[in-house]
Each structure stands twice: as structure tokens, then as C-alpha cells.
Amino acid sequence: MTTIDVGQGDSIFLALPDGRRLLVDGGGIPSYGGQRAARLDIGEDVVAPYLWNRGIRTVDVIAASHGHEDHIGGLAALVADFHPKELWTGAMPDTPAWRRLRDAAGRGGVTVTAMQAGRRFSWGGAAFDVLAPFPGYTPSDTARNNDSLVMRVRYGRHAFLLTGDIERQVEWEMLDAHEVQPANVVKIPHHGSRTSSTEQFLAAVAPSFAVISAGFENSYGDPHEAVLERLAERRAMVLRTDQEGLVSIRSDGRRLYVETGRRMAARAVTPAW
């Protein structure tokens, strides 16, 4: 699991045990009101060069967690560049960002699948559990954080929890449904914002590693001090893209290896449970 440093956004690359590849989100730069759209395409100019540098020319699946630009703004270019067979999505309202991505998928003959909680399947040599959005969830006219696709990926004794931008309401709903289980690695929801990562949620996940994707000196104040305090109380190792750059965590099913852009020497880490 590699969390790519895309500034204030998300892009996570998973290389599965059998060689298949999954890219979750592609970063992006939101434009507000009458602002001119940024000329920088985070997908084309940041994510794609990283993957090409690794010798990766195709991915099997791209997943769009939800419709906010900082998650899917770069995905249209990445669909064109890496020719996925499938596009997995959370709940997607009909917004311009989603239309651009949907049109790119249509041009590429990509199968679009809206994921919902309760779906469990094996793929790539790992086990996938979809935890959100719940069946019957209907998005509003605009993209919301709680539209997010949440997946747990299990391999050997390890579990990785990918949370998109869910807020406390969805965390509590997943807890009420008894869907939240311990995970060695959690991608902290919503860039470490105070809207998420409740005490109850973190207690149930009990992560050894907490990855936070946030922009350097971002205007939102992410990650929030209260979230960092809760993680410190649980003795989770916090790995932040605004401090570490790229963050990679690799599993052989028994041990975890951590590598970051700032500390390039990989370290083997014995799981806590």
C-alpha cells in the first residue's frame, strides 16, 4: 500500500499478492466559485510519473472513493493513461468531476461498478470487504464526504482499512453494524480532520499504523491536534505525507515493512497482534 504525496488530497496504490494493481483515487485541485481551474493535473503530473517510474504501465482497477475533486480530479487522465478494466465507486452524485471521469471510463470501455457495504470477495490474492456506503444510501446533488467507499483489504495476518473521507456519522453506522474490526494499517479519514476518527472508531480499529494524506501547511489545519492526540493515546505510529512524503507499507503476510520518502531505508515491523 503506497500513499502517494498529492498534497491536500488522496491517492493510494495497492500492489496485490498475485501482481494485480488497484489505484484508489488520483488526487486533484478543487476550484471554488468562479476560480479558474488549476493547470496542474495531479493525476497526469504527479501520480502517473510515480507509477511510470516504477515501471507500471497498466492498472487492473481504479477506485473512486467519492466525488470531491481532491480525490477524483486526477482520475480521468489516469484512466486514459493506465487502461483499467474496472472502475469501482462509492456513491456518486451527478457532478462535473464525476461526469468527466465517467466519460473517460466510457471512452476506454471500462466497466463501472458502484460498491456497497456487505460485498465480500477475493481479488488479487487478498480478501476485500466493502464497509460503506450502505445499501439504500442516496447521495445528494453535491458530493459529500460520507459518500465515500470504505474497504478493508486482508492478506495473511494483516488488514488495511481504506476510509476515503468518511465523517463520524458513517463511523458510528459502521460500528452499529459491527463492521469495524481491528486493522494493522488505517488510512485516517478525511486527512485527519476533526470531523472524523472518533474515539470509538479508533478503539475498534486499534491500528498499529495510521497514514494521513495531507498537504504541507494546508489551510484546513489538517491533521487536527485532537486526532493526533487520540492516535498517540493508542500508540499508533503516525505517518503523514506532509512530513514524510510518499508512504509505503508492505506485507508478506507475517511482517510489515515501512518505507517513506524521507526515510527510504525499509524497516521490518512485527505486528502488535
Domain boundaries, the chain: 2-269
**pLDDT at 67 (0 to 100):** 97
Question: What is the average pLDDT across 169-174?
Answer: 98
Task: Characterise 190 by phi-psi region: left (phi > 0), alpha (psi -120 to 50), beta (else).
Answer: left
pLDDT at 272 over 70: no
Q: Checking DSSP bridges between strand 12-15 and strand 158-162, what pairing results, if any?
A: unpaired
Q: What is the mean pLDDT of the chain?
A: 94
101-156 pLDDT per residue, tens: 999 999 999 999 999 999 999 999 999 999 999 999 999 999 999 999 999 999 99
Q: Three-class SS of residue 156? A: coil
Q: What is the pLDDT of residue 273?
A: 40
Range of lowest pLDDT (36-50, 81-95, 182-196): 36-50
Cα three-residue angle 268-158-185, rounded to 5 degrees: 75
**In this structure, are residues 165 and 190 in contact, taking their beta carbons and an 8 Å threshold?**
yes
Would the pLDDT of 59 be above 90? yes
Q: Which fold has domain 2-269?
A: Metallo-beta-lactamase; Chain A (3.60.15)
pLDDT at 262: 83
At 268 the pLDDT is: 63
How far apart CA 220 and CA 215 sit, in angstroms, is 9
Q: Which residues contact 40 (CB under 8 A, 6 or more apart)?
A: 29
Confidence of residue 39 (pLDDT cuts 50, 70, 90): confident
